[in-house]
Amino acid sequence: MQISPLKTGDLRSLLSIELIIPSAYEVFKKNKNKIIWLQKETKKGSANVLAYELSTKDSLNSFSRNKIIKIRDSIGQAFVPGRNKNSYMITEEAYKPYLNRVLVNGLKAIETRGTWEVKNDFMAGPFLNYIIQDTLNQRNIVLEGFVFSPSSKKREQVFELEAIFKSLKIYKVKE
Q: Quote the pLDDT of residue 3.
A: 59
Q: What pTM was estimated for this model as a whole?
A: 0.93
Q: Strand pairing partners for 59?
A: none
Q: Quote the pLDDT of residue 127.
A: 98
List pLDDT tens digits, range 160-172. 999 999 999 999 9
Query: Distance between CA 111 and CA 10 in Å, rounded?
Result: 24
| Residue boundaries of the structural domains of the chain | 9-170
Q: Is the pLDDT of residue 2 over 60?
A: no
Residues whose CB is less than 8 angstroms from the CB of residue 172 and which lie 6 or more positions away in sequence, other chains included: 16, 136, 137
CATH level 2 (architecture), domain 9-170:
3-Layer(aba) Sandwich (3.40)
Q: Quote the pLDDT of residue 28.
A: 92
Query: Distance between CA 99 and CA 121 in Å, rounded?
Result: 26
